Amino acid sequence: MGKKSEGPKGCLFYRHSLELIGSLDDREAGRAVKAAAAYFLHGEAPDGLGGREELVCKVMCCDVDDSLERYQEVCDRNRARRGRSSLLPPGEYYVLPDETAD
């Protein structure tokens, strides 16, 4: 079995990023997308890109940062809810009526 990964299973790229990718030729687009994927998966800063592909990758990395920030907000909200999910105070339990008693 593989190692359980930490963090979100995916990220969101906004329309503006996708439109920018479309402005690149296939080779440039591939390098920009691969660099953004490495940034998401490993936190590696894009390296070795130039010109337009570097610009597009920076925009995509901003989308990754936004997705990670939103993921953290959801995790924090869920963690806070767990602490107050009980309807009864700690140590108190519902007692079900005995259906065999008259």
Per-residue pLDDT tens digits for 46-96: 888 989 999 999 999 999 999 888 888 888 888 777 766 555 555 555 555
| Predicted TM-score (pTM) of this structure | 0.68
Backbone angles phi, psi at 70, to 5 degrees: -65, -40
Helix (H, G, I), strand (E, B) or coil at 38: helix
Looking at this protein, which amino acid is placed at residue 71?
Answer: Y
